[in-house]
Structures are given as structure tokens and as C-alpha cells.
Amino acid sequence: MTGGSGVVVLDNGGGLLKAGFGGDMNPTAVVPNCMAKPPGAKKWLVADQLQAQDVDVTGMTLRRPIDRGYLINQEVQREVWERVIRNLLQVDPNNSSLLLVEPQFNPPALQHATDELVFEELGFKSLCVADAPSLVHLYEASRQPSLFRAQCSLVVDCGFSFTHASPVLQNFTLNYAVRRMDLGGKALTNYLKELISYRSLNVMDETLLIDDAKEKLCFVSLDVPGDLRLARLSSNDNPFRCSYILPDGITYKKGFVKDLDEACRYSSLPANGESVRKDSSDSDRSKFEDKKKPELSQNEFVLTNERFLVPEMLFHPNDLGMNQAGLAECIVRAIQACHPHLQPVLFERIILTGGSTLFPRFTERLEKELRPLVPDDYQVKIIAQEDPILGAWRGGSLLAHRPDFESMCITKSEYEEMGSMRCRRRFFH
């Protein structure tokens, strides 16, 4: 225990679970929130075991405790929490309090299931529940005086299952104004799997590998029509063309990008990308020619326009036949649902959090999409978090380190005496 605190802070995300101690700057463990079984094996790998260097993730069967943002498999969740709490954090729940980051609008039945897991199966002595937007606001307000003075912000959380635009006032999320898109990191990964499977190899069972390819190669385009023109060029002149090498189980246990530096160099071209292409040196051209040569010993797939068309889902889901508003419109609707006096302040304090905001040029594109939808006399300012994956956890760590934290918790004896529903009334979110 590095922080000297008896409070375990658990951000139970659909994709990644972040766990550590109140008062620490960073979590002790950031692990996949799932179990997986290799083909032909009998033993399930849990959480951090999937991150081991000698584990081949090809064709793994996944079991996730969370689907579409909510707990669906209590047994799997217990296995993951047991592994993290007892093996990675090495704490005794009987002597510890738990601060749990819970999904917004969690149904009462799932709240009751969570309380059973915390108190009856794991045996924590007390529990405090918070939602991600209020914790992200708390953390950013501790770092930025302007947020602290204004006491409000709009938190845009592009998570694993959903994307939420949530106004926060004085550390309380205004639930009546929250707007949600049914798109997140999981949907983007599934779309990339479909594109690759249709154009190249069948990778529908390779969720972990395609997730890795998405994180390393995808980016947000500032000029989609222009980039589509460049992506149609032959391989020698195509600046977006890159290869992802699949593991062979012998030499490589993990997938990787062939020539990562070259792929990242063209991850987001300027608006006049045409000139960049024409002025490329002969050495650049020879590199592309080398990349075109097939290596029969390697199993690989090539990406071109998929690299920017996948994140484009977040901004224009209508283009894919989804009857939903894009991210910019979702933000505007959330702010317009608030009091008129709050609206100009919220437009100036938009905080981005969640793993999907890590795509290169995400912030610039969102500002470009937002500006035409916002009144001219309003300023638009977007705050990109230093590490958006850890934003909610760090806010929870701050909250858990406050002297009055224990007064916010429900104890195990209160839970046994009054039940889950009555105890939950203490948490206003």
C-alpha cells in the first residue's frame, strides 16, 4: 500500500479496470476487466494475466462482466475483483473501505447486485459510490483555478460502451441534462473488425488484437474528403498505408505495427496533405515500396482509409446508418438542457475523458465541429486531460483522501440492518 490509505479506489470500466489507493496519484493496477481462455486450454486467464508477455492472445474466448455499460455477470466480476484486490493490491477487504466508480443511471437491481458483491462476497467494511463525471470535474478543478471558481463544467466521457455528455455543477452531475450516444470504444473495435474481415483477413474473433491495432493506428481526420482522395492512391503514394503483423505463436506472441514510426508520421496530415505527398523524398518512396513487398512468413493485414473512417463514427454515426446525433450535437443538446445562465460557462469548460479521446487530433476536430453549432458570442474551450483513461480514478483518489470521506460511506452493518435500497439514498448522483 503506497498511499498509506485504507481506502481502495476502483474505477470499474467496461474495458479497463483501474484500482489503487486513496491519496495516490496513479492506480496500482490498470488491467482488462475480463476473463479469457486460449483455444484448446481449460484454464481461464483473469485481468493482469492477459497482459503477460508470453501470453498469445490470438483467438481467445472472452467473458466480460459488463455489457453496454452495466453489470451482467456477477460471477466474472467477482473473479476479476478477487484477483485485483487480493493479488495485485494485496489488501484485506475486511479492514478496508471501497470507493467504487459506478455507471450513470445504474438500475436499482444492479445496484443491489453490486452491494451484495462488495459486502457479502468480498466483505468490505464500508462503501462509497460516485459517478465518473463528478470525479473528473473534481480532479480537473483541483488543477485549474478557473474550473474551481466556476464550479461547473461539461464532462464528455468517451468510454468503452457509451459516450456521455454530462454537465456537472458543484461536484454534482445534472442527470436531467445528460445526453448519451450508444457508441464507444467497443463499437469502434467491432467496426474495424468488420472492415478488415471484409477487405483482408477474417479477424472477427481477434478482439484483443484489433483493439491494439485501433489504438496504435487510428486517428481523427480534419479533412475527410481530402484524406479519402489520398487513401485511393496506389501503395507507393498512399501516405496512410500501413501493415499490422499478427502473432504466429512462436516468434511473436503479440501483434505489432510494421514500421510504427512511418505509420505515426502520417497519422494526421495537414489540410494540404497533397503537397506533403508530392514533396516526399525518394527515401520515403522506397520505404513504401519495401512495405508493399509481401512476406510470406508473416500473417498481416493492411490498413489505409480504415485508420480515419473508424473514429469518424463518433462524429457522424448517420453515415453508417445509425439514427443518432454526432458528438458535437450531443454536447450542444446537453448544454441547452441546462439553465441559460450556465450555458456560456459550460461551453468554455468542456473536459474530454475516456480512452477514445486519445485518437490524434480528436480535440481539434471536435472544436471544428462544435463552432458552427455554438452562438457567435460564446467561446468554446476544450480541455483534454493529461491521461483521460485515469481521469475518474484520480478524482476518486482525491475524494477518498478527504478527512470526511468515511461520513460519506455506508457501512456493512448499515447495509445488513437497512438493506441496499435505503442505504443507497445517501448517494445523490
Is the pLDDT reported for residue 349 higher than 60?
Answer: yes
Instruction: Kindly state the percentage of the chain with pLDDT values over 90.
Output: 58
> What pLDDT digit, counting tens, does each position of 278-313 carry?
344 444 444 444 444 444 345 888 999 999 999 999
Cell 494526421 sits on residue: 268
Closest alpha carbon to 352 in 389, 326, 309, 305: 389
How far is residue 259's CA from residue 266's CA, in Å, rounded to a whole number?
A: 12
Q: According to the model, what pLDDT value does residue 294 have?
A: 41
> What pLDDT digit, counting tens, does each position of 107-150 carry?
889 988 999 999 999 999 999 999 999 999 999 999 887 777 77
Is the pLDDT reported for residue 429 higher than 60?
Answer: no
Q: According to the model, what pLDDT value does residue 282 have?
A: 41
Helix (H) / strand (E) element for 89: namely none
Q: According to the model, what pLDDT value does residue 416 have?
A: 85
Average pLDDT over residues 181-210: 91
Sign of CA dihedral 382, 383, 389, 392: negative
Average pLDDT over residues 364-375: 94
Cell 489520398 sits on residue: 230
> What pLDDT digit, counting tens, does each position of 42-56 carry?
899 998 999 888 888
> What pLDDT digit, counting tens, does each position of 146-165 carry?
777 778 999 999 999 999 99
> What pLDDT digit, counting tens, does each position of 206-240 carry?
999 999 999 999 999 999 999 999 888 887 788 88
Closest alpha carbon to 26 in 395, 403, 413, 325: 395
Closest alpha carbon to 315 in 243, 355, 364: 364
pLDDT band at 5 (very low <50, low <70, confident <90, very high): low
How far is residue 306's CA from residue 203's CA, in Å, rounded to a whole number?
A: 14
All structural domains of the chain, each given as residue ranges with its CATH number in brackets, are 7-132+392-425 (3.30.420.40), 136-183+325-384 (3.30.420.40), 185-268+296-313 (3.90.640.10)
Q: How far is CA 385 from CA 130, 166, 358, in A?
A: 19, 16, 9
Closest alpha carbon to 300 in 246, 235, 257: 246
Mean pLDDT of the chain: 86
Q: Are 409 and 97 in contact (CB under 8 A)?
A: yes
Closest alpha carbon to 82 in 38, 135, 131, 44: 44
Helix axes 185-199, 207-217, angle to 10 degrees: 100
For 294, other C-beta atoms within 10 Å of its C-beta total: 8
250: exposed, middle or buried (Cβ count in 10 Å: 0-12, 13-18, 19+): exposed
Average pLDDT over residues 30-41: 91
pLDDT band at 267 (very low <50, low <70, confident <90, very high): low
Q: Are 133 and 173 in contact (CB under 8 A)?
A: yes
Q: Are 414 and 423 in contact (CB under 8 A)?
A: yes
How far is residue 409's CA from residue 422's CA, in Å, rounded to a whole number?
A: 13
For 235, other C-beta atoms within 10 Å of its C-beta total: 12
Query: CA torsion 178→181→186→191, rounded to 10°?
Result: -170
Helices (H), 144-223: 145-150, 185-199, 207-217
How far is residue 409's CA from residue 55's CA, in Å, rounded to a whole number?
A: 39
Q: How far is CA 172 from CA 122, 139, 152, 179, in A?
A: 29, 13, 9, 16
Q: Are 69 and 217 in contact (CB under 8 A)?
A: no
Among 222-226, 263-267, 317-321, top mean pLDDT goes to 222-226
Cell numbers of 5, please? 490509505
How far is residue 345's CA from residue 364's CA, in Å, rounded to a whole number?
A: 20
pTM of the model: 0.88
> What pLDDT digit, counting tens, does each position of 69-86 carry?
899 999 999 999 999 999
pLDDT band at 21 (very low <50, low <70, confident <90, very high): very high
Q: Which residues of 184-206 are buried (b: 16+ CB within 10 A; e: fewer)?
A: bbbbbbebbbebbbeeeeebebb
| Complete DSSP assignment for 255-322 | -EEETHHHHHHTSS--TTHHHHHHT--HHHHHHHHHHHS--TTS-EEEESTHHHHTTHHHH-GGGGT-
Q: According to the model, what pLDDT value does residue 3 have?
A: 43
Average pLDDT over residues 187-202: 92
Which DSSP symbol is given to 122? I
Q: What are phi and psi of 129, to 5 degrees?
A: -115, 135
Is the pLDDT reported for residue 360 higher than 60?
Answer: yes
Q: Are 47 and 31 in contact (CB under 8 A)?
A: yes
Is the pLDDT reported for residue 270 higher than 80?
Answer: no
